[in-house]
């Protein structure tokens, strides 16, 4: 049997990141994905983005994005409405929390990235990003 070393290693890192973020976000009753959406929307003009932009941010299917956003809407975190400029598109607006929460979520994200990349040189970080991007592209090409 062939020994697979890259896939399981990436999965281990992903699981560790997800666990860490979920622990940090628990105080706000947010999952990793919800926290990412909150951070993203908090950085947008009028705390608003399109559903498509959020789908691209998360890198998941339309249905998965819609389910996540509907859950967040039921919790009173966001409001989903038709885009007045394009009735086929939805606008998502953050209506939950306050800037201190957004600041803490951003700080946690920065701290996590610093911890993840501790001991890496700038060149290694760039190579790592390039390798991950290329691996993702390979998988998406099928």
pLDDT tens digits along 22-63? 999 999 999 999 999 999 999 999 999 999 999 999 999 999
User: What are the φ and ψ backbone dihedral angles of 47, each rounded to 5 degrees?
Assistant: 55, 35
Residues 77 and 95: beta-carbon distance below 8 Å: yes
33's CB contacts (< 8 A; 6+ apart) are 58, 68
Q: What is the mean pLDDT of residues 98-120?
A: 96
Percent of the chain whose pLDDT exceeds 70: 99
- What residue has token string 């040189």? 121
pLDDT winner (highest mean) among 2-6, 116-120, 135-139: 116-120
Confidence of residue 4 (pLDDT cuts 50, 70, 90): confident
pTM: 0.85
Cα within 13 Å of Cα(125), Cβ side: 10
Residue 26: exposure state from Cβ atoms within 10 A (0-12, 13-18, ≥19) = exposed
Q: Are 39 and 72 in contact (CB under 8 A)?
A: no
């Amino acid at each position: 049997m062939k020994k697979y070393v890259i896939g399981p290693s990436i999965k281990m890192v992903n699981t560790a990141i997800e666990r860490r973020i979920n622990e940090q976000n628990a105080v706000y009753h947010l999952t990793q994905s919800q926290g990412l959406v909150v951070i993203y929307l908090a950085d947008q003009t009028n705390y608003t983005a399109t559903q498509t932009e959020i789908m691209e941010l998360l890198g998941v299917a339309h249905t998965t994005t819609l389910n996540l956003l509907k859950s967040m809407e039921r919790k009173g975190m966001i409001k989903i409405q038709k885009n007045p400029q394009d009735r086929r598109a939805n606008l998502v607006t953050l209506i939950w929390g306050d800037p201190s929460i957004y600041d803490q979520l951003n700080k946690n994200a920065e701290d996590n990235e610093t911890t993840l990349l501790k001991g890496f040189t700038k060149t290694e970080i760039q190579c790592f990003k390039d390798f991950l991007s290329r691996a993702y592209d390979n998988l998406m090409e099928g």
